[in-house]
Chains A and B, each alone.
Chain A
């Protein structure tokens, strides 16, 4: 079972995503901020990380940079949920590989489709979308 780690400070988002993705057959773990997510990842790499940007303690941006720095050979994909669409708000992600933005409000259907597509592609090796 593919493991998905979700980091968001909004408990409702965590709950509805967890329910929906579990229904699709994924193993879902949730945490409320970047710090927590980082310690989970250090213990075990997920197959997918879904993270919000604005979170207390450690933002999604900081989380991604940390991951890029400390796990440069990372093989899991990161989905970043963002409220901003302007290119300058995505500038920071240029040096982070294997990263996708999902604009809020997020459609769960859309996310599920993307995940399926990704895992279908990566069954014969890592595929960067």
Chain B
């Protein structure tokens, strides 16, 4: 504001001085020419004073009030000075005047000898006796812009109102600008997305039209913004819905139990869920957008994901491959390929959906079952084979040989026993698997039960050259158990102990009873169980790879079944074993649980 004021003041001063200068210049010109002509009309002798007398020029100098007057001179036609008056310090500059009469009366601007000062010179011809004798030259300083102290008070009085008026004007302007400023603020608000409101002002006359238009514009804008907001909200809603649906579908696909790959017409993967990478040991990022042969390391799999010409082979098909993984484990993967038809056009397909299922478990199960069936058929047919041979030999020969007859009948009897045990085990395990087994509990005298079971097993194997030892309390509680099932469990423990004993070893069964439980221990001094096998011995179909164990026929069912039977009686089957020294299997039965059942039953 101050700068503006000073500027205004400066400009004012300048204009003032310039005006003054122009004024003085025109005065100098008018006066100069006028006086020169007047003087030129004087007789030559009047102009050139005699010695000791003041001439007209001196009169002019003394009487002339114009401060710009610099010099006066009379020159002859040749330009020679005949009389002169000057202001202090001024030397009449030489000047040439054209000879033509037309330019005898005139003005010109000439510079002083040193060139620092410029003069406005007026000249007029002087005649004597009708003859042109010379010129009168009158010089005025060319007015310059100058500040004189004498003008200060005047200037000060001039500046004061300006100094006061400019701020006043400024404030008035501001007042006028205010509504505009408010409008500008609204615009700022608009930029800040704040709500738009009308600009309520007492508008000055000039602005009122503008304000009206502005307000109506704001109204229109507001309606538009609201509409846009609504639209935006709707869009956001549908976008959210879409995202949700998308996420849901993605989540479904991601959590699908099988790996899913979509191969497009170009043979590139357009979608793959997370399981693909895991199943095929590939980083997920490597898969999408690429052809299977670019990322799939297994040469057996690539052909299953590559289809050549899309148009050919539109059938869904299924294939299973064995895949060897980096950690050398083997997996069975089932590839199911489904063509993705263009909706409403079954003759064209967009690509193919490949579902990869890890069927290792099922494959392993099938393998085990195959092994099992093969094993069982062997186990079933071996005793049958022996019986067939002996009975056939009895039919065709040797009936006369009493010793052979007894041997044959004994063998056949033993084999029948063996077959029966096996069939019982199989039936039990089958029933258990089908969930159809229901314990047929009865009150069982444990002493008799254990003694009977032990005898049955050991008597049949008396020829094995083993030492059998039974140590059970004479008085034992009655337990509420399924006698047939429980016999299978104890039987299996005992036959195992005998099967895997070393020649001359001891097989013992002991039982102890306290207030809470009964413990039945079957111990042997046989080959024991290798440490790496210990975790697995209760697994169905598990058989040790130990040669000593392999030498004995078995089907990997006995322990698994025994444990399940004990668990059914809410008991516990545990073992300790040391390779080369033998094993102890312990059945623990809570008396309480059987008593509760007892009470429930009665």
- The answer to whether B392 and A109 have CB atoms under 8 Å apart is yes
A67 at the interface (CB under 8 A from B): no
State whether A83 touches B377 (Cβ < 8 A).
yes
Decide: A56 near B385, CB < 8 A? Known: A9-B553, A16-B390: no
**B404, closest chain A residue (CB):** A19
Interface size on B, residues (CB 8 A): 28
| B-facing residues in A53-77 (Cβ within 8 Å) | 53-54, 56-57
Within 8 A of A (CB), among B404-441: 404, 408, 411, 415
Q: By the criterion CB–CB under 8 Å, are A19 and B382 in contact?
A: no
Is A120 engaged at the interface, CB distance under 8 Å to the other chain? Answer: no
Contacts of A109 in B (CB 8 A): 392, 396
In chain B between 365 and 414, which residues have their CB closer than 8 angstroms to a CB of chain A?
A: 374-375, 377-378, 380-382, 384-390, 392-393, 396-398, 404, 408, 411
User: CB of B551 within 8 A of chain A?
Assistant: yes
Given contacts A10-B382, A12-B415, are A105 and B389 in contact (CB under 8 A)?
yes
Instruction: State the main secondary structure of chain B at its contact with A.
Output: helix
Residue A94 CB within 8 A of the other chain:
no
Residue of A nearest to B388 (CB): A105
Residue of B nearest to A53 (CB): B378
Does B387 contact A105, Cβ atoms closer than 8 Å? yes
List A contacts of B408 (CB < 8 A): 16
Q: Are A83 and B382 CB-contacts (below 8 A) given A12-B415, A57-B547?
A: yes
> Given contacts A12-B386, A56-B547, is CB(A20)–CB(B381) below 8 Å?
no
A41 within 8 A of B: no
Q: What total of A-B pairs shows CB separation below 8 Å?
A: 72
**Does residue B297 face the partner (Cβ distance < 8 Å to A)?**
no
Known contacts: A17-B389, A19-B393, A104-B385. The answer to whether A57 contacts B551 by CB under 8 A is yes
> Do A84 and B377 have beta carbons less than 8 Å apart?
yes
> Assuming A104-B381, A104-B382, A109-B396, is B389 touching A89 (CB within 8 A)?
no
Contact (A12, B411) CB under 8 Å given A105-B387, A105-B388, A105-B389:
yes
* Residue among B380, B381, B384, B411 with most chain A CB within 10 A: B381
Interface residues of A in 9-51 (CB under 8 A from B): 9-10, 12-13, 16-17, 19-20, 23, 33
* B461 on interface, CB distance cutoff 8 Å: no
Residues facing B in A71-129 (CB within 8 A) are 81, 83-84, 89, 104-109
Q: Are A13 and B385 in contact (CB under 8 A)?
A: yes
CA distance A105 to B381 in the complex (A): 6
Mind listing 25 A-B residue pairs with CB under 8 Å?
Answer: A9-B551, A9-B553, A10-B385, A10-B386, A12-B411, A13-B389, A16-B390, A17-B389, A19-B393, A19-B398, A20-B393, A53-B378, A54-B553, A57-B551, A81-B385, A83-B374, A83-B380, A84-B374, A89-B374, A104-B382, A104-B388, A106-B389, A107-B392, A108-B389, A109-B396
Beyond the given A10-B385, A105-B381, please list 16 additional residue pairs across the A-B interface where CB-CB is below 8 A: A10-B382, A12-B386, A12-B390, A13-B382, A13-B389, A16-B389, A16-B393, A17-B389, A19-B393, A19-B398, A20-B393, A54-B375, A56-B552, A83-B380, A104-B385, A106-B385
State the 7 A-B residue pairs at the shortest beta-carbon distance, nearest first: A105-B388, A56-B551, A83-B381, A104-B381, A104-B385, A12-B386, A105-B385
